[in-house]
Amino acid sequence: MNYDRYLNQRIVSVPPSGIRRFFDLASSRKDAISLGVGEPDFRTPYPIRDAAINSLIDGETQYTANRGLLELREEISLYLSERYNVSYNPAEEILVTIGASEAIDLALRALVNDGDEVLVPDPSYVSYAPGVVFAGGVAVPVQTKQEDDFRLKADTLEKAITSRTKLLILPYPNNPTGAIMEKTDLEAIADVVRKHDLFVISDEIYAELVYGGHSHVSFASVSDMYSRTLTINGFSKSFAMTGWRIGYACGAAEIISVMNKIHQYAIMCAPRQGQVAAAAALRLGRENGYESVLSMRESYDRRRRLMVRAFRDMGLDCFEPYGAFYVFPSVRRTGLSSEEFCSHLLQEKNVAAVPGNAFGPSGENHIRCCYATAVDKINIALERMAAFVAEHS
Amino acid sequence: MTKLETSLLDILREDCRTPLEKMAVMTGASMDEVASAIDEMENRKIILRYSPVINWDRTDRERVEAMIEVRVTPQRDMGFDAIARRIYRFDEVKSVYLMSGSYDLLVLVEARTLKELAAFVSGKLSPLETVTGTATSFVLKRYKEEGVIFENDDTDRRLVISP
């Protein structure tokens, strides 16, 4: 039976994920060392798990309010205010979602009318462009370059703006590049946003993972951008809570209300235990100075330095990333494309990395390596990669 | 303790064979700073030794280990410290801890055979003046030690590739 005529062609038209192919390839290799994951290697700290366990034992298994447990929204409000100097009202300006992923999807569905153009930095996370298309918009990639440390530049941004441009997605710290945007970078973007009357969806999921003496600056805290920004964040990367599926969106009550409209019909509410655990994570964090987050960050930082140095020692051109947990070296000197490099590396050395072009055309000639893995595995993987690069140069 | 020293201790605990150069890269310090911080910690007896965690069950060495709960009566000239010292002087004794609770000292003992271990307890440990009682339990199986899981349970449960 041919299902074509039943299917939503807009969705069908989105090409299959480049990552998916590599996943299938890598899964078939026994004992490959994977530098291709996008999640922490830590488990959720036990006291957080404990809060959820107790909640289950106490029989808390019902729906929560659509927007999320008020306690969690209050904690989120305190957290953002304390850590990033942005203030949101828990009652009307915060929505708890199924991961930051749902928050992005809701934001796009709430803000995109057919044909609206959405600027998406390139390379960046795989979900943005498809999400824009699903919502009926047009995704417009904005190139970022290694020579700029993959930061979004105001002039490149401005050149991509047309009369149909409505939104800018700002994903920093960035997956896959590990790039961050400092205050001055963001101020330059703010000027463009203001000038062209744009709205910004700021995905700050890696906000806690910033290194080298830098601090994360939340876009909503920059000059007068507060009313032009939807701030998205979550618990997956900072608290190692990927599988729990808890994220949130914060912004103007009118926008949150429209997002909630979709959310309440399609989702009802985010998982209760995830919410309980997330509230516990923030409460404990406030009490102990976010020690578990800082300790994970310390570990990531050591591995980050190890990896960057190793790539440079191998002769690969590699800028120093100060955010997230990825390193994005260039493999140009081997003469192989991203995909060729990764598939040969996997076949010859049993090490998995993700080709940079899976994240957009500007990712070509780069590979994404994740350092959310034990040091001993990272060392072995880097040794094998060094041998591989030497053999292919 | 400086931040560098704390970081180095974390790194060394994971793998005490980490080369100096790698430690320098990981901490952002120079090799000289790292070497000198480690020397300092050795001098201050913060770091006492570097030894591997060994799974003896995978060797053919015969070995029996016991944990002995020891009750003592500290006397005027012999407080807990002195008693502990007396006990830990025996080569068979691997570890001695002063404990809270229903007994005083926890003594970890290793011998080649059960007979040898029993002989140690009855011949050398129990007869000590200040020892009023011992309770010996044998280690049957090691699951985890010093943060290292002995069985192959260390599987990474994450998807091999994820965005």
- A354 contacts B27? CB cut-off 8 A: no
Spatial distance between the Cα atoms of A307 and A375, rounded to a whole number of angstroms: 10
- CA nearest neighbour of B142 among B59, B68, B54, B52: B54
**B152 band by pLDDT with thresholds 50, 70 and 90:** confident
B128: its two tokens: 């000590």
Spatial distance between the Cα atoms of A20 and B141, rounded to a whole number of angstroms: 42
pLDDT of residue B75: 78
Q: How far is B117 from chain A (nearest CA, A)?
A: 37
Average pLDDT, whole number, for chain A? 96
* Chain A residue with minimum CA distance to B15: A376
pLDDT average, residue stretch A293-298 = 96
Lowest mean per-residue pLDDT among A21-35, B38-52, B108-122: A21-35
pLDDT digits (tens, 9 = 90+) for A21-40: 788 888 888 888 999 989 99
Q: How many residues does chain A have?
A: 393
Instruction: Give the ipTM of the model, two decimals please.
Output: 0.80
pLDDT of residue B154: 65
pLDDT of residue A224: 97
Task: Kindly report the pTM of this predicted structure.
Answer: 0.91
A63 touches A272 (CB < 8 A) = yes
The answer, for B157 touching chain A at a CB cutoff of 8 Å, is no
pLDDT digits (tens, 9 = 90+) for A61-81: 999 999 999 999 999 999 999
pLDDT average, residue stretch A306-320 = 97
pLDDT average, residue stretch B19-30 = 96
- A376 contacts B15? CB cut-off 8 A: yes
pLDDT of residue A261: 98
pLDDT average, residue stretch A362-390 = 96
- B158 contacts A37? CB cut-off 8 A: yes
pLDDT of residue B78: 74
Average pLDDT, whole number, for chain B? 93
CA dihedral B87, B90, B94, B98 (to 10 degrees): 10
- B162 contacts A38? CB cut-off 8 A: yes
Sequence-distant (6+) residues with CB within 8 A of A241 are A44, A48, A235, A274, A277, A278, A281
pLDDT average, residue stretch A316-327 = 97
- B106, β-bridge pairs: B69, B97
- A26 contacts B162? CB cut-off 8 A: no
Contacts of A375 in chain B (CB under 8 A): 11, 14-15, 18
Reading phi first (left if > 0) and then psi (alpha if -120 to 50, else beta), residue A240 is in left
pLDDT average, residue stretch A321-339 = 97
pLDDT digits (tens, 9 = 90+) for A265-277: 999 999 999 999 9
Pick among B7, B22, B161 to test the A interface (most A CBs inside 10 A): B161
